[in-house]
Amino acid sequence: MGIGASERPKAVRWAKAKEIVSTWIITIPCSGAVGALTYYMVKLFSGGSISI
């Protein structure tokens, strides 16, 4: 997409680029939330002995 945009911007599928960006906007915070949830679940079941 980057090379295509620099050489022939009309050849790039901008709808697909928009889809990729929106997916990243959703994926990054969700993966952080899953990581935090996993951390707190492990902390809960290990008796709270995990420290950062």
Range of the domain at 37: 2-45
List of residues 6+ apart from 20 with CB closer than 8 A: none
Would residue 51 count as lying in a domain? no
Would residue 41 count as lying in a domain? yes
Would residue 35 count as lying in a domain? yes
* Residue 35 pLDDT: 97
Average pLDDT over residues 21-38: 96
CA dihedral 9, 14, 18, 19 (to 10 degrees): -130
Would residue 52 count as lying in a domain? no
The full DSSP string for 1-52 is -HHHHHH-GGGS-HHHHHHHHHHHHHHHHHHHHHHHHHHHHHHHHTTS----
Average pLDDT over residues 14-42: 93
Give the number of domains in the chain.
1
* Residue 37 pLDDT: 97
Would residue 50 count as lying in a domain? no
